[in-house]
Chain A
């Protein structure tokens, strides 16, 4: 997932806050939607100021228009659990004109339609099914880790995080393995900004999506005539509730799963390596007790917050944190801020792999739209860390990470590392 504000930042961008003192500017000028401070890793003090001085904040002017920012854990919870006040339609992206695609996707629908559509597909990523996939996913994780160079610098994002997430998506769909890089391309193209590096114009983007649709229609047609299997497409083609679903609904769901499960998991895999390097005492705890991995995975997902925000639109005039929000206004929940809110999370600004209540974070959202892939993401990360700890004394970060230019996808373009084998 990426947002439309991505793309080459001009040095003179009047919206950029990079290098500015968060406490020296008028508070209404703070604009978290601009991607500059996210790439420069300067967003934390801006969020901190808003949390303490104006936790429900109005930004009257920005490159994406006026919008409200919701900064505190409790207020975010209130917005996320009030779909009758704060709608997910027409889009959950901060930019109005950003039509992801016209296919139906339940992430940007309100009840009752949302609930009906989600019910149809959610079984495929429910824990009972994930059990069937675990062995194959573990095997593929092992192959990737065993192929890595020792004592030699390489890019963890490219060699591990992207490769693993792509393979795991391929596993989920039982997608022809040799074609798997297409999945990454289609995922990137689905949300790409023409000219941003992935596709150069709308036609190219549309071509990529057409190729994706044709491919998945072919897979459906093949699997519908075979015995039913454990993969997602086979389950949809044979499932009682899904086998007659309209083609565009099928494709909408496929795209949502490809996009939803891609960057988020990828950046959690990289973010964990970085967090453990920045907190060596936590890495020591992990080496002393790999039994902490499950708990650590939740803490990594909180710490990383792979999607920094989700957007809603007020359906009616309402009040939040003492502020009057009008019908039609954009409301942005900053999960990345709520996850650092000391009033709701003890020692929120520390990375603690043995934290109590580590599962109580905002990264998956709450309420009816709560991440459908949350158990899948946790399973993937757990397997990755179990296998890393069996092989390496340390995944050592040996240079500065390069961060994504986006206020939505919070992640890494590259992360240089060196592996130290177990003694």
Chain B
């Protein structure tokens, strides 16, 4: 099992244990973590699964595809560590991953 920690913009923390294979978005949604809407169900086409990846994990979550980049660029609170959580696959390597959810999904 892999541990992922979601921190809401107000500081509330949610720690979940998931098996590998799914996405970080799915880890949040199936465990009832608030702050992620995932309107498109993981097709990289709504940008409502936006998260900020904690700096020390940035090297491990993989590269952004051009589509993810384009969708994120339409988000108003985009930062350097922004990612769409449906595009991050859960692997053993990500055990302990920490991501923050934005105040609003748009």
B70 contacts the other chain (Cβ, under 8 Å)?
yes
A367, closest chain B residue (CB):
B45
A115 contacts B73, CB within 8 Å? yes
Q: Within 8 Å CB of B76, what residues of A?
A: 122-123, 126, 128
Shortest beta-carbon distance from A60 to chain B in Å: 31
Q: Within 8 Å CB of B40, what residues of A?
A: 77, 360, 366
- How many chain B residues touch A (CB < 8 A): the figure is 22
Given contacts A111-B70, A118-B74, A123-B76, contact A366 B45 (CB under 8 A): yes
Q: Within 8 Å CB of B105, what residues of A?
A: 127
Q: Within 8 Å CB of B74, what residues of A?
A: 115, 118-119, 122, 368, 370
B8 contacts the other chain (Cβ, under 8 Å)?
no
A287 contacts the other chain (Cβ, under 8 Å)?
no
Q: Which of A122, A123, A359, A368 contacts B71 (CB 8 A)?
A: A368
Given contacts A128-B104, A360-B40, contact A119 B73 (CB under 8 A): yes
A127 contacts B106, CB within 8 Å? yes
B37 contacts the other chain (Cβ, under 8 Å)?
yes
A122 CA to B71 CA, complexed, in Å = 13
Contact with B along A334-365 (1 / 0, CB 8 A): 00000000000000000000000101100010
A375, closest chain B residue (CB):
B106
Q: Within 8 Å CB of A3, what residues of B?
A: none
Q: Which of B37, B46, B77 contacts A370 (CB 8 A)?
A: B46
A77 contacts B106, CB within 8 Å? no
Contact with B along A109-124 (1 / 0, CB 8 A): 0010001001100110
B43 contacts A77, CB within 8 Å? yes
B34 contacts the other chain (Cβ, under 8 Å)?
no
Contact with B along A122-146 (1 / 0, CB 8 A): 1100111000000000000000000
Q: Within 8 Å CB of A357, what residues of B?
A: 41
Contact with A along B70-98 (1 / 0, CB 8 A): 11011011000000000000000000000
A361, closest chain B residue (CB):
B39
A126 contacts B106, CB within 8 Å? yes
B103 contacts the other chain (Cβ, under 8 Å)?
yes
A122 CA to B47 CA, complexed, in Å = 14
Q: Within 8 Å CB of B37, what residues of A?
A: 359
Q: Within 8 Å CB of A128, what residues of B?
A: 76-77, 103-104
A122 CA to B70 CA, complexed, in Å = 15
Q: Within 8 Å CB of A367, what residues of B?
A: 45, 71
Q: Within 8 Å CB of A127, what residues of B?
A: 103-106
A81 contacts B45, CB within 8 Å? yes
B70 contacts A368, CB within 8 Å? yes
A364 CA to B48 CA, complexed, in Å = 13
A360 contacts B39, CB within 8 Å? yes
A366 CA to B37 CA, complexed, in Å = 14
A80 contacts the other chain (Cβ, under 8 Å)?
yes
Given contacts A77-B45, A359-B39, A360-B41, contact A126 B73 (CB under 8 A): no
B67, closest chain A residue (CB):
A81
> Which residues of chain B from 1 to 50 have a CB within 8 Å of any chain A CB?
37-41, 43-48
Shortest beta-carbon distance from A61 to chain B in Å: 33
Shortest beta-carbon distance from B43 to chain A in Å: 6
Shortest beta-carbon distance from B52 to chain A in Å: 16
Q: Within 8 Å CB of B67, what residues of A?
A: 81
A253 CA to B39 CA, complexed, in Å = 26
Q: Within 8 Å CB of A126, what residues of B?
A: 76-77, 104, 106
A370 CA to B48 CA, complexed, in Å = 11
B43 contacts A81, CB within 8 Å? yes
A115 CA to B74 CA, complexed, in Å = 7
Contact with B along A353-394 (1 / 0, CB 8 A): 000010110001011101000010000000000000000000
Shortest beta-carbon distance from B84 to chain A in Å: 13
The contact sample of 11 A-B pairs, CB cut-off 8 A, is A77-B43, A77-B45, A81-B43, A111-B70, A122-B76, A123-B76, A128-B76, A366-B39, A370-B46, A370-B74, A375-B104
15 more CB-based (< 8 A) A-B contacts, given A123-B76, A127-B106, A364-B39 = A77-B45, A118-B74, A122-B106, A126-B104, A128-B103, A128-B104, A357-B41, A359-B37, A360-B40, A367-B71, A368-B71, A368-B74, A370-B47, A370-B74, A375-B106
